[in-house]
Amino acid sequence: MRGKVSFTTFPDVRSLHHTHATLLAQNGVSPGIAKSAMRHSDIRLTMNVYSHLELGDVANAVNQLPDFLNGK
């Protein structure tokens, strides 16, 4: 049947949880605030399990370092 929606077409809650943590990290939200937003008791869970940063995210952070050190 065309147009029928099944439960498999939606991401599971766990995937949304990972996406939430990753988007917080990618947008510069501090780890402590992300931990609270995710309702985790341990920051290591938030940062090591749920946050998935890519190489480009690390490169952007490194590229911002000179501006940070120069007070910009």
pLDDT per residue as tens, the chain (72 positions): 455 555 556 667 778 888 888 888 888 888 899 899 989 999 888 888 877 777 777 777 788 888 878 887
Q: Do the domain assignments include residue 20?
A: yes
* pTM check: above 0.85: no
Handedness of CA 16, 22, 25, 31 (dihedral sign): positive
Mapped to the 3 state alphabet, what secondary structure does the chain carry? Answer: CCCCCCHHHCCCHHHHHHHHHHHHHHCCCCHHHHHHHHCCCCHHHHHHHHCCCCHHHHHHHHHHHHHHHCCC
Task: Report the number of distinct structural domains present in the chain.
Answer: 1
Q: Do the domain assignments include residue 5?
A: no
Q: Do the domain assignments include residue 4?
A: no
Q: Do the domain assignments include residue 24?
A: yes
Q: Do the domain assignments include residue 63?
A: yes
Q: Do the domain assignments include residue 2?
A: no
Q: Containing domain of residue 29, as a range?
A: 10-69
